[in-house]
């Protein structure tokens, strides 16, 4: 059974997601569609890229990922198929696949063959008329070269990276999840290399934390904790509460890690 992972910013109050699924099932009734997420903030390509990067390795080999977070729909932006060793990605060429490295990518195809489009093509709903039918045909085993012409690169977005400055590891919150956990761009490897076994203090907003917890329940309710979450990024959380709201922090908020000698 072919798996299609579907990621959009359409939400679930409208019919957009359902219509795309209908198009897919018309072409491939045997497809298995997995709803990865549809509640991404409207037009937020960075959030879409983070969620996709954090999710795709857990899917079976051969999965086709269909991504429609597309603020440039109807413009001159390209539509692309990107093939890696194990997966296929169908998406607008707007940076949502920035996490894929040159080593990851086997082939990039610009989607140009209108034979596989629904007609007429709406200038506001390429998810239905271009991306969904292309993903459906790919899930049936259609050869990638049938859909268009090879190109050499995809658009890349710049993502903030942690930096060491004035003997501090400096990062920022890059995502806030449904529970209000503040997920930063500092992974466990970068953290451990920086502290080198020393004591440390984490400073974010008015909160100061001097240990890494192994579970959300280690501190009393309402006290901030630092934890490496399921995707190996440093998170700031409040047990039983919303850290983003309580600490008045959000995406882009700065976080600092300082070594302590005493």
C-alpha triplet 165, 168, 169: angle, nearest 5°: 90
What one-character-per-residue DSSP string does 227-245 give? Answer: EE-TTSEEEEEETTB-HHH
Q: Closest Cα partner for 212 from 163, 170, 257? A: 257
Domain with CATH 3.40.50.10790 in the chain: 3-151
Asked if the model's pLDDT at residue 1 lies above 80, the reply is: no
137-147 pLDDT, tens digit each: 999 999 999 99
pLDDT of residue 262: 67
7-21 pLDDT, tens digit each: 999 999 999 999 999
- Measured between its terminal Cα atoms, the distance across the chain in Å is 58
144-168 pLDDT, tens digit each: 999 999 999 999 998 889 999 989 9
* Assessment of whether the complete model's pTM goes beyond 0.85: yes
pLDDT, mean of residues 222-236 = 93
3-151: which CATH number, 3.40.50.10790, 1.10.290.10, 3.40.50.20, 3.20.20.80? 3.40.50.10790
pLDDT, mean of residues 199-216 = 94
pLDDT of residue 173: 97
34-79 pLDDT, tens digit each: 999 999 999 999 999 999 999 999 999 999 999 999 999 989 999 9
163-260: which CATH number, 3.40.50.880, 2.40.30.90, 3.30.365.10, 2.40.128.110? 2.40.30.90
Using a pLDDT cut of 70, give the percent of the chain over it. Answer: 99
Q: Closest Cα partner for 186 from 216, 229, 156? A: 229
Q: What is the mean pLDDT of the chain?
A: 95
Residue 246 three-state SS: helix
Domain with CATH 2.40.30.90 in the chain: 163-260
pLDDT of residue 219: 77
């Amino acid at each position: 059974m072919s798996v299609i992972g579907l990621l959009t910013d359409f939400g679930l109050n409208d019919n957009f997601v359902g219509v795309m699924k209908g198009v897919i099932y018309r072409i491939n009734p045997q497809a298995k569609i997995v709803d990865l997420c549809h509640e991404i903030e409207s037009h937020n390509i960075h959030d879409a890229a983070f969620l996709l990067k954090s999710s795709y390795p857990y899917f079976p080999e051969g999965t086709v990922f269909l991504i429609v977070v597309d603020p440039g729909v109807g413009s001159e932006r390209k539509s692309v198929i990107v093939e890696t060793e194990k997966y296929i990605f169908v998406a607008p060429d707007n940076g949502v696949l920035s996490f894929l490295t040159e080593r990851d990518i086997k082939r990039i195809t610009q989607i140009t063959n209108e034979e596989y489009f629904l007609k007429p093509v709406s200038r506001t709903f390429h998810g239905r008329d271009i991306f969904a039918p292309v993903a459906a045909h790919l899930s049936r085993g259609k050869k990638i070269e049938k859909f268009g012409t090879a190109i050499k690169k995809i658009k890349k977005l710049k993502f903030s990276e942690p930096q060491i400055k004035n003997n501090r590891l400096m990062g920022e919150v890059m995502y806030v999840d449904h529970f209000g956990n503040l997920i930063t761009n500092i992974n466990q490897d970068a953290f451990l290399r920086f502290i080198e076994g020393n004591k440390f203090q984490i400073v974010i907003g008015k909160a100061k934390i001097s240990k890494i917890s192994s579970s959300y329940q280690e501190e009393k309710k309402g006290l901030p904790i630092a934890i490496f979450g399921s995707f190996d990024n440093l998170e700031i959380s409040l047990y039983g509460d919303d850290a983003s709201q309580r600490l008045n922090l959000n995406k882009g908020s700065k976080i600092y890690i300082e070594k302590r000698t005493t």
